[in-house]
Copies of this chain bind each other. A is one copy, B any other.
């Protein structure tokens, strides 16, 4: 039986999904890893993959496609760019996997792009030909699908919508070095910053926050009528709706999917976001639907598996 693997590469472990070629997720395992830069580390990965197969009645020869998502740029040719937050030798890992899984097509995919592909394969976007996934987490990532295909970009920056400029008057710099990026207001960090600033301005006491990305507490405060929380979420919706209006003037997607950690609070801000988008977009684009993503943290694992399978 032909099988597909989707490998979500994180900083301290990788999560592996074993899929059928039709996209059902048959098993998941986590393999603890450190830096993935030596033959020993590559062997930990390939042994983990083989163990997962053995436990599920499979062999390496069954595997026809293996996708790997990485937290960094991957260009249209599948080449991995600079990885800032993770120690990984992509060529080395690829060669090691290729040796142990000789039938498999291998593909690297950027993590937010992979999440978009996952939603396309088995999530909310199933069957859609044009949509944009916006993953709101520590940062704001994105994946653009047009004509049913992922737009990775010539330099791996396709779907970098967290870096659409939404405020030309901003004086503080974004992580990318530019100023006024969407990510500065609509990421978990941006929402927390917006909340703190609003508390200061209003002279109110902020609720206790568990670190610089704790939007859960802010959404709870919002539910309790906290004015500063309302300000922070409204600011997020306004800038996000504005950025989406710019995206619509470029690829004009049918659907926007909101995912990532902050995507979980979607129902609390969906209407406000829809209103903001319609306020800013070109008239014909106002029919674009804005929906929550459905695969949660598994989306990228699905998506990189799908990419490797599609490329065969």
Contact A153 B178 (CB under 8 A): no
Size of the A side of the interface (Cβ < 8 Å), in residues, is 45
Give chain B nearest CB distance to A83 CB in angstroms.
Answer: 13
Contact of A161 among B146, B249, B287, B288 (CB under 8 A): B249
Provide the residues of chain B in CB contact with A251, threshold 8 Å: 144, 146, 151, 153, 158, 250-251
Indicate if A252 sits at the interface (CB-CB under 8 A).
yes
Contact A283 B154 (CB under 8 A): no
Contact A250 B161 (CB under 8 A): yes
Contact of A155 among B155, B178, B287 (CB under 8 A): B287
Contact with B along A258-301 (1 / 0, CB 8 A): 00000000000000000000001011110110000000000000
Indicate if A226 sits at the interface (CB-CB under 8 A).
no
Give chain B nearest CB distance to A98 CB in angstroms.
Answer: 25
Contact with B along A169-184 (1 / 0, CB 8 A): 0000000111000000
Indicate if A234 sits at the interface (CB-CB under 8 A).
no
Give chain B nearest CB distance to A65 CB in angstroms.
Answer: 19
Give chain B nearest CB distance to A123 CB in angstroms.
Answer: 18
Q: Give complex CA distance A249, B151 in Å.
A: 11
Task: Closest B residue to A81 by CB, please name it.
Answer: B284
Provide the residues of chain B in CB contact with A122, threshold 8 Å: none
Q: Give complex CA distance A159, B177 in Å.
A: 27
Provide the residues of chain B in CB contact with A154, threshold 8 Å: 129-130, 252-254, 287-288
Known: A130-B76, A144-B251. A160 touches B282 (CB 8 A): yes
Provide the residues of chain B in CB contact with A160, threshold 8 Å: 249-250, 252, 282
Contact B157 A284 (CB under 8 A): yes
Contact with B along A235-247 (1 / 0, CB 8 A): 0000000100111
Q: Which 3 A-B pairs have the closest CB atoms?
A: A153-B252, A154-B254, A157-B252
A binding-site residues for B, Cβ under 8 Å: 73, 76, 81, 129-130, 144, 146-147, 149, 151-161, 163-165, 168, 176-178, 242, 245-254, 280, 282-285, 287-288
Known interface pairs A154-B254, A158-B250; 4 further A-B residue pairs with C-beta atoms within 8 A, sorted by A's residue number: A151-B251, A155-B284, A163-B282, A164-B250
For this complex, 26 residue pairs linking A to B, each with C-beta atoms less than 8 Å apart, are A129-B154, A144-B250, A146-B146, A146-B147, A149-B149, A151-B251, A151-B252, A152-B252, A153-B248, A153-B251, A153-B252, A153-B253, A153-B285, A154-B252, A154-B254, A155-B288, A156-B252, A157-B249, A157-B285, A160-B249, A160-B250, A161-B250, A165-B246, A165-B280, A168-B168, A176-B282
